[in-house]
Structure 1
Amino acid sequence: MRKIYMICVLLFGLQMQAQQTKVAKGDTQFNDLAYIDATETYLKVAKKGYKSKELFQKLGDSYYFNANLKEANKWYTELFALGQPIESEYYYRYSQTLKAAEDYKKADEYLDKFYKLSANDIRANLYNKQRDYKKTIEKNSGRYEVKSTTVNTRKSDYGTAFFGDKVVFSTSRDTTGFARVQTRWTNQSFTNFYVSNRTEENDLTNPERFSKTINSKFHEDTPVFTKDLKTVYFTRNNFTEGKIGRDEKQVINLKLYKAVLNAEGKWENVTELPFNSNAYSVAHPALSPDEKTLYFASNMPGTNGQSDIFKVAILGENQYGTPEKLSNAINTEARETFPFVTQDNELYFASDGHQGLGGLDVFVTKINTDGSIGPVVNLGAPINGPMDDFAFIIDNSTRKGYFSSNRNGGKGLDDIYSFTEKEPLVIDCKSELAGLVTDAETGVILPGSTVSLFDDKFNLLSKVTTDGKSSYQFEVKCGQKYYVRAEQAEYETKEQNVVLPDSSGKTDLPIALSKKLKEIKPGTDLAKTFNIKIIYFDLDKSNIRSDAQADLAKIAEIMKEFPTMKVDVRSHTDSRQTNAYNEKLSSARAKSTIDWLVKNGIEKERLSGRGYGESQLINHCGDGVNCSEEEHQMNRRSEFIILKM
């Protein structure tokens, strides 16, 4: 028996060693960005029952980075089932795969956890500010009619660009020659450019190879052409003049290239752009309407996440400025990629950092004349869905265009879809914040008041003086939170916050100021005069609430300032009990209020009071009337009426 036991231990040890060797092999393939090969290795190990945090992380990542979110979901589920501490990034990735599985409730649960773990993360803060993102997406949905195009194959077809009345796109369908060069990332052929006709129905037909001088044996994708169709910017693997460039990890990154059309109609002078680098990728170019700015995606130093959108000035023939990253209104710690800019300076881009339906979603924003960025808006379904949707382009004049997706029901790995925009999506949201500044007691207007506008972090944005009609106004952004502060001599400064709606329009925010010096005399209610909260008691209770004690302290201080003042404390209830019960309860409340004031330094002989029960309601909430808890609570109050000064 001992020999049998020793043999079993030996075999088990060899098996574990073999499994660990396979995991190490998978790690090497993973780090080389050979995600399909790594997946096969990890799968073999996992199927034999081997479990570890690192195995499930990398198995999930292999699928996640290869856009197979449903399979990634399976392994991230196994990862979290281990019950071990996990880096916060995996909460976000898991939420994305849950969206791909259309389990949005659970996805939001993990986004909540991600926010708690990563409160400084741009994605976490975007989610926290847009917790109703599904309602917003639903409101934006249904604006497009989408159809699959006939150029799609079982391979990858994606990344369209307008080329006159034709479209140029990228495809991994068979390459020419005796050898089929493949990428280790997907085990698919590298992509080349094809050109296709556009039909009246916006379909793509008769695809053929675009250019022998531009197509190489490595990747070419996502071109953009100048309006005269004589210059093209495009993405290619780091391959120039027959030489391959690699970074320090031997990875072949992506670079941007430019080519020009000669008099014979041939593309020539394929030139690498000067801000490329062997150390990082630069890809997916887009041109501004005036063709003086080139937009692109990159993971160059300074990038927030996996890729950000940058811009660079085109200064002249083969002369460029310094690339600038777009603001964090667009870029997150995830992927922002595939930019496209319309003639109206609308920027469309794909992201899985902003809240969407799963994978990459297509978003749009307005680039303002001062370079600032407007609200970022999700295009909604059917453009976006649970999987990756990207490479969106649109013809402004016809409102027709194309986008790419790996959604279910497609023919290949990625497919090209055509669309027609049936209803425009309003993104250039303009809003106005305005109001009057008045005296809180008399309602008299207060011209010459100073009104200041602050953002949600209390940065001063603007300051104005009210006109002769005591009005003010600010140009503001839709959907944003602001603070407005009003000041006037002899009045207390007042500050209010307001959250603007997501739609264009005018928001009225009146501001009523209270005088610093307040006239008091017999008959004055100190609670109203000094803007003291009048609600002190919970239902069926007579004890002073903790949130009321600070306000009662104000009454005490006023009475100490005027030592001959006498005050009558009048306590009231709501109508939800019998008259007898309410009289008894209100009397107890008046007594507890007086007792508190006496305990805090006010002579008992200066105070009187009684309970009025429900006999003096201040609203319509009498017996049998259906009212909210807030309305009933307004009647549970105490008043402080001056009897003598």
Structure 2
Amino acid sequence: MKTKHHILTYALLALSISASAQYGSQKKADNLFNKFAFADATKIYHHLIEKNFNADFATRQLADSYAYMRNPDSATVYYKKAVQQDNVPIDYYYNYAQALRGIKEYKQSRLWLKRFKEAGGLIKKDRYLKDNDFLNSIFNAKHHYFLAPVNFNSKYSDFGAFEKDGTIYFASSRNLGTLKKHVYGWNHEPFLDLYTTAKRTDSIVNHKSKIKGDINSVYHDGPLTISKDGKTMYFSRNDFNKNVLGKDNQGVTHLNIYKATLVDGKWTNVEALGFNSNSYSNGHPALNNDDSRLYFTSDKPGGFGGSDIYYVDIKADGTFGTPQNLGNIINTNKNEMFPFINSENALFFSSDGHAGLGMLDIFATVTDDNNNIKSIINLGVPVNSSKDDFSFFMNKDGLSGFFASNRAGGIGGDDIYAYNRIPQLKIEGSITDATTNAPVPNAVVTLLDSNDNKIADLLTDENGHFEINIDRNTNYKLITQKDNYIDNSRTVSTKGIESSVTSIKANFVLNPVAKKEVPISELYPIYFDFNKYNIRSESTAELDRIVDLMVNKYPYMVIKIESHTDSRGSFAYNDKLSKERAKATYNYLVANGVNASRITEFNGYGERKLANGCDGTKNCTEAQHQLNRRTQFIVVKME
């Protein structure tokens, strides 16, 4: 893989009723995001924010989506909100800085880059001065692709792997096992043929493995793409049709695209596509998700230079429209080639005209609401290297596939590399009633980090089931709650879980609150002074009475403590103050003889549960505010 001419002529070869529905929307948005369908994902993340459902997470995802779509105006709006969140990953400082540069807020950008570095981020001191220095971010980025061995490579060129229904198709110049070899003058290797194998670990793939039918000729054949129903193939071949070798005015034979159909297990009825020419090359066809459009590479006149990527619509009668250039977001004055469309219609391609790590790099595209291409993403290492990296393919699962490279350490000139993307890990489980074993729907499941900071809330569905995406190598805590049940919790660790694992289980059993009459009326609230959390002297009498009830009268009674504030002060401050009041109350009861295990929870709710309408929208007396500065005692179990 040395020059454009080489590539094109030798091979050419990317907590309400609706809460359950909102959680389903979040899963859908996350799946779209992970498959590069950012435009569709943004709509759902906006909806989740409007419904205040896991809004912090949706805000971060929305900011990233706009950044990938090269919309810094919108990205900065949501990154600004993201960086104000508690415990936000420090990468968002960097992302915010980058988005600010896109709207020419350079001073603010440098401040956030500085904050990123001070928080422990890896970055060059003068990074913000170098607009084109993306190498640092590429090499320091978290790897999503991991290489897997391919045993069927040869000492010759192998590339263009395409997997369909358990069969791997690929182009190779090996021609092993034949006595007569037609040799290509460019590198004295045999011409390319198309081969098949059942799995990437196969080590013996020779002339007996050539694709069945009329595809392979005495000149270059491949690579290929196959329709979703498996009955139609499009493939590259030198301009050689009906035993006639086409040439241009200079005597050069170019690549053309051909079509074939599957008949009784063999590919036949080969025909050249009508938009081919003997004056320029068309090659490496790729179908979109519904087989309505064919993408390909061409160096036809009128492009941006080198080879460009085009598409042509496939009409209902099987004829083709007029080829259209994909435009200058994709195409440069260099070489763009090897298009591939994944199951979400995201385009992948190779280019030596965009900023990359070496020669050809593999890129993915980002589109807007109207499916217009907005920007590209470099896939980074280890997919890309300092050499040529091309012919990217992704399976329908979005987690595995192939690409080719002539990087150091290979067997031949071009080798096929398999990759696995580490899949998103999720935690899922079911909540059941301890007495009836029936599912518990609409139970609240709270996911917290190892420092008890809340990450997200979700509800169980009608089957008591829940699931949520989580990170690997991280510790979490899950708390399950439901009215008339005793809360349950557990810690969960994803450390040491193998990359092939996509889900871990966390099932819960909830014990119903005893239906026996309970002395709720006997437990009265205690009150606090404004902006204070120490126990007032007049409150000790009630606390001592509760101690006596729990120790002497109701020795099996279990309670939980809920503390509150009035509406004055900031929301965050009131949360903190109420937690201090709950802690002070808990400490008093335990210090005076109540076994700590009989207090299942002591928590603060700030101003969330006001006892009256004094929410700041009307004038209230001090006596009315006093009713809100309280700790309440909730009986959750009697025996």
Which TM-score applies when normalising by structure 1?
0.45
Return the index of the structure with the highest Cα Rg. 1
Which TM-score applies when normalising by structure 2?
0.45
